[in-house]
């Protein structure tokens, strides 16, 4: 079982205070804190083996290469990939999805369709919009009043022109966990490529890409205890190997002449230039840390926390507190998005402008700023999901997101502070 207090001892940042209060960090959906094991792995590389990879035949270069290649193997095993060549290191999930828009988009033509959903992060919408100039059409699967994806709507919108289905595994606003294995089956029966945005799932639950059957998956290291600037694109090898390089330069080539070039083997042909060596090493250390806890335990801990959050929501008595997403903890991740104001969370067809929001509502930025005075760190805004906000009929929300170092005491601190916010702002 997860022991948050013991886990916190691995994270130096929890030794500090914020404005005289202990730090209660509730923004792990944006980025996670880093344990000493990850920091030490990066420092050790810089102190002892700092050099470029795949190029030097001297000792520390060979050490760096071994560490970098071992990191790829470690990440591959962590997500159930049976071939480390299916792992491409990128900057983050956003770059991975842009990679796919560029490379897969090269073969799309006017009238082809891409199926997304209204709950997508902007990173899984904007890159596909780039293809509209080629005449590619985007379709969006709707959600039901419970915040779950409408599978019947998906089935009605997928067509023989649908070349790509790209969906989030877990919504970063609603916390909704989508049935990606079932969706993948539908996509493949239709002959579509199936992409999963795993940014909010890989850090929080067991993920097996072979079992899911997805063609591609994207996720970020910084959301799973790793450093910033390192992410992963997983792809089935035959599909990945068939793609054109995303960027050109050193490392990704086999031969270069003034007239033409040939490419290195997959995945190196997609990793132009000096890679984020220390980032890969740090991500591997993060994988080791999570594997030591057991991803089943990580998932169980977050389910218990979310269940407690929903219980406290009812018991708090906070006037006009509304939240968004499924009510069943089995259907949602460790995300709690909410507003203080008379905006009903399940009236999904209602659309409000900034001017029409009731005056009793407390702006999410005010909520976040006030909570910071009590040492609580939460997110406020549209959470890079403006289409979903429009669907929900809100302009923004506050979001508390939980991870392995959060406890029931953190949840209590959140609701105690929200009572003070409600009392201070709502008359």
Catalytic residues: 384
Phi, psi of 182 (to 5 degrees): -65, -40
Q: How crowded is residue 259: how many other Cβ atoms within 10 Å of its Cβ?
A: 5
Residue whose entry in the numeric block shows the structure tokens 């009929």: 393
Residues 220, 222, 226, 230, CA torsion sign? positive
**Directed axis angle between helix 277-293 and helix 36-48, to 10°?**
150
Helix (H, G, I), strand (E, B) or coil at 262: strand
Closest to 224 in 3D by CA, of 78, 100, 88: 78
Angle at 345 between CA 405 and CA 385, to 5 degrees: 65
Q: How far apart are CA 310 and CA 317, in angstroms?
A: 12
- Per the CB < 8 A criterion, the answer to whether 398 and 341 are in contact is no
- Per the CB < 8 A criterion, the answer to whether 173 and 119 are in contact is yes
Closest to 215 in 3D by CA, of 81, 107, 111: 81
Q: How far apart are CA 117 and CA 125, in angstroms?
A: 9
Helix (H, G, I), strand (E, B) or coil at 346: coil
- Per the CB < 8 A criterion, the answer to whether 139 and 162 are in contact is yes
Residue whose entry in the numeric block shows the structure tokens 């029409």: 356
Who's near 20: CB < 8 A, 6+ residues apart? 375
Instruction: Say which DSSP state 362 is in.
Output: B
CA 316 to chain centre: 30
Q: How far apart are CA 281 and CA 343, in angstroms?
A: 45
311 sits in which H/E element: helix 295-316
**Directed axis angle between helix 277-293 and helix 59-78, to 10°?**
40
Q: Which two tokens stand for residue 326?
A: 């499924």
- Per the CB < 8 A criterion, the answer to whether 327 and 307 are in contact is no
């Amino acid at each position: 079982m997860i022991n948050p207090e013991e886990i916190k001892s691995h994270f130096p940042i929890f030794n500090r205070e914020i404005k005289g209060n202990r730090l209660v960090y509730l923004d792990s959906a944006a980025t996670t804190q880093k344990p000493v094991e990850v920091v030490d792995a990066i420092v050790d590389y810089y102190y002892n083996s700092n050099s470029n990879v795949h190029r030097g035949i001297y000792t520390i270069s060979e050490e760096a290469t071994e560490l970098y290649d071992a990191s790829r193997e470690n990440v591959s095993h962590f997500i159930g990939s049976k071939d480390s060549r299916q792992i491409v290191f990128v900057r983050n999930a956003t770059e991975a999805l842009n990679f796919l828009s560029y490379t897969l988009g090269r073969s799309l033509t006017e009238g082809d369709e891409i199926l997304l959903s209204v709950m997508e992060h902007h990173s899984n919408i904007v890159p596909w919009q780039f293809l509209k100039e080629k005449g590619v059409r985007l379709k969006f699967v709707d959600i039901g009043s419970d915040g779950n994806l409408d599978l019947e709507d998906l089935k009605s919108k997928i067509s023989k022109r649908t070349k790509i289905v790209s969906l989030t595994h877990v919504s970063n606003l609603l916390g909704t966990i989508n049935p990606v294995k079932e969706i993948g089956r539908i996509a493949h029966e239709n002959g579509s490529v199936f992409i999963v945005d795993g940014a909010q799932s890989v850090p929080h639950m067991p993920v097996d890409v072979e079992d899911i059957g997805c063609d591609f998956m994207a996720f970020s290291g910084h959301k799973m205890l790793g450093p910033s600037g390192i992410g992963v694109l997983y792809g089935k090898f035959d599909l990945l190997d068939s793609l054109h390089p995303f960027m050109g330069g050193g490392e990704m080539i086999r031969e270069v002449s003034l007239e033409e070039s040939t490419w290195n083997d997959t995945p190196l042909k997609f990793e132009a230039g000096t890679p984020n060596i220390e980032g890969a090493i740090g991500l591997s250390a993060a994988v080791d840390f999570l594997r030591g806890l057991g991803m089943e335990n990580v998932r169980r801990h977050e389910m218990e926390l979310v269940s407690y959050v929903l219980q406290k929501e009812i018991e708090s008595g906070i006037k006009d507190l509304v939240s968004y997403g499924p009510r069943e903890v089995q259907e949602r991740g460790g995300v709690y998005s909410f507003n203080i104001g008379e905006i009903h969370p399940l009236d999904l067809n209602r659309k409000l402008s900034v001017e029409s929001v009731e005056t009793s509502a407390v702006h999410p930025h005010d909520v976040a700023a006030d909570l910071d005075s009590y040492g609580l760190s939460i997110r406020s805004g549209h959470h890079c999901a403006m289409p979903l906000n429009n669907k929900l009929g809100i302009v923004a929300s506050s979001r508390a997101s939980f991870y392995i170092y959060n406890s029931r005491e953190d949840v209590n601190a959140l609701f105690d502070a929200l009572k003070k916010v409600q009392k201070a702002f709502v008359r």
